Amino acid sequence: MRVGLLTGGGDCPGLNAVIRAVVRKGEMEYGDEVIGFLDAWDGVMDRRTMSLDVHSMRGMLPKGGTLLGTRRGSPYERDGGLETVVKTFDDMGLDALIVVGGNGSLTVAHNLHHDLGLPIVGVPKTIDNDVVGTDITFGFNTAVQTATDAIDRLHTTAESHDRVMLVEVMGRDSGWIATHAGIAGGATVILIPEQPFDIDEVCTILRARHQRGRYASIVVVAEGAEPAAGTMPSQEKVYDLVGRVRRRGVADRLAPEIEQRTGFETRVVLLGHIQRGGTPSAYDRVLATRFGLGAIDAVHAGAWGHMTAMRADEVVLVPMSEAAGKTRPVDLALYQNVASVFFG
Ligand code: F6P
């Protein structure tokens, strides 16, 4: 078969491991020709490709990012985009397309399959771990480890100066990274998008802790965390080039509020894209490899409109319609029954 593959949305550690696994099994077991599209859907519409074979996969397993490049945006946003995609399939004789992406890319993949009947299989990825239908996405484990390493380092300087450290992590709609890194890093408070926070309550926790002595505090805040209505002045939304609300910066808003209310010196650390960069953890390499193998098997099973997913440590196929247009919130039991036990 002629199998196309693209990586879409924000990058994450493990994308190259998926590509490698698809190519390995596709070429060696099924005799497939695998074609990589550069820069996500742009590559499909502009016919920018790269042929992928086992030889070219050497050294790819531990490499972060994606060798194919990635973009946000979709054929639905370009005039004549859908016709161009169909033409690419026809002209290139594509039998299948594997789309490795997060919520946005999987929604587009689902729609293209649904609207045009294209033979598409999805693979979920994102450091945010917020894809519905799978227990976990690759990239998450690496991001949590990176954030935890940073928090570990911040403890010592926070303690030396007896300060509050606000650590902002990624997670525009969900608090998965914040909750896991916060538990692993011994956070004093964790703020997540799923639970609007009251700044006065946060300050009460910080004051109580500091009254016990020189107890510096680490507050882990997900970039999408929001103050409860009426508790802080609202802020004007800023949009990025593809029209998404820019989330970054909630910690910068919080720091002066905390300093003013508590009198404790407060510093901000924005981990930002450091969480997305670099080599994948061993866990993510294994997960990405399993998803890649699952995807090429799904292609040969003709499981169009499905994506690989992890359920109870088994790779299974689930309809992409389960994930399309949704976001998986953090497990609130983990937040309420585990993380918050250690607040204060
Ligand atoms: O991949 C998802 C994500 O990590 C979000 O948590 C974050 O808001 C977003 O990417 C930022 O991505 P970019 O800077 O590439 O738009």
Summarised one tens digit per residue, pLDDT across range 298-310 is 999 999 999 999 9
**Confidence at 178, pLDDT banded by 50, 70, 90:** very high
What's the rounded mean pLDDT across residues 45-61? 97
Q: Which atom of ligand 1 is nearest to the CA of 143?
A: 4
The fraction of the chain above a pLDDT of 70, given in percent, is 100
> Mean of the per-residue pLDDT values for the chain?
96
With a 6 Å cutoff on the Cβ, whether 104 touches ligand 1 is no
Residue 244's pLDDT is what? 84
Residue 311 has phi, psi (to 5 degrees) of -135, 120
Ligand 1 atom closest to Cα of residue 242: 16
Question: Taking residues 221-234, what's their average pLDDT?
Answer: 91
**Of 172, 192, 223, best ligand 1 pocket probe by most atoms within 8 Å of the beta carbon:** 172
Q: What would the mean pLDDT of 23-41 be, rounded to a whole number?
A: 98
| Predicted confidence (pLDDT) at residue 245 exceeds the cutoff of 90 | no
What is the enclosing helix (H) or strand (E) of 233?
none
- The per-residue pLDDT for range 57-101, each reduced to its tens digit, is 999 999 999 999 999 999 999 999 999 999 999 999 999 999 999
Catalytic status, residue 284: no
- Give residue 193's pLDDT: 97
Q: How far is the CA of 19 from the centre of ligand 1 (A)?
A: 21
Separation of CA 111 and ligand 1 centre (Å):
22
Residue with more model confidence, 118 or 245: 118
Residue 233 confidence (pLDDT) above 90: no
**Confidence bin at 236 (pLDDT 50/70/90):** confident
Distance from the alpha carbon of residue 170 to the mean position of ligand 1, in angstroms: 7
Q: Which pLDDT score, from 0 to 100, does residue 44 have?
A: 98
Residue 234 has pLDDT above 90, yes or no: no
pLDDT at 34 over 90: yes
CA of 272 to the centre of ligand 1 (A): 8
- In eight-state DSSP terms, residue 224 is T
Per-residue confidence (pLDDT) for residue 246, from 0 to 100: 81
pLDDT of residue 213: 83
* Ligand 1 atom index nearest CA of 244: 16
Distance CA 291, CA 294 (A): 5
**CATH placement of domain 2-139+280-322:** 3.40.50.450
**70, 107, 128: which to mutate for ligand 1, most atoms within 8 A of CB?**
128
Residue 152 has pLDDT above 90, yes or no: yes
Quote the ligand 1 centre to 263 CA distance (angstroms).
Answer: 33
Helix (H, G, I), strand (E, B) or coil at 166: strand
Per the listing, tokens 């039991």 go with: 333
Q: Which two tokens stand for residue 133?
A: 């239908």
Exactly one of 128, 130, 284, 297 is catalytic; name it. 128
- Give 102-113 pLDDT, tens digit per residue: 999 999 999 999
For residue 145, is pLDDT > 80?
yes
- How much distance in Å is there from the Cα of 12 to the middle of ligand 1? 10
Domain positions in the chain are 2-139+280-322, 141-276
Full-model pTM: 0.96
To test ligand 1's pocket by mutation, which of 105, 170, 245 has the most ligand atoms within 8 angstroms of CB?
170
**Contact 11 CB / ligand 1 (< 6 Å):** no
AA identity, residue 325: G
Is the CB of 10 within 6 Å of ligand 1? yes
One-character DSSP codes across 224-268: T--BPTTSS------B-TTSPBP-TTHHHHHHHHHHHHH---EEE
- Protein residue whose Cα sits closest to atom 15 of ligand 1: 10
2-139+280-322 and 141-276: same fold?
yes
Greater confidence (42 vs 210) lies with: 42
Mean pLDDT for the stretch of residues 180-209: 97
Q: Between 15-30 and 282-301, two packed helices, what is the crossing angle to 10 degrees?
A: 40
Whether residue 235 is predicted with pLDDT greater than 90 in this model: the reply is no
CATH of domain 141-276: 3.40.50.460
Per-residue confidence (pLDDT) for residue 186, from 0 to 100: 97
Is the Cβ atom of 172 under 6 angstroms away from ligand 1?
Answer: yes
Exposure letters 114-124 (e unless 16+ CB within 10 A, then b): eeeebbbbbbb
Helix ranges (H only) for 68-198 are 81-92, 103-116, 140-161, 176-185
Rounded to an integer, the average pLDDT of 35-62 is 97
Q: Smallest Cα–Cα separation from 164: which of 144, 147, 189, 191? A: 189
* Averaged pLDDT for residues 245-256: 89
* For range 230-247, the mean pLDDT: 82
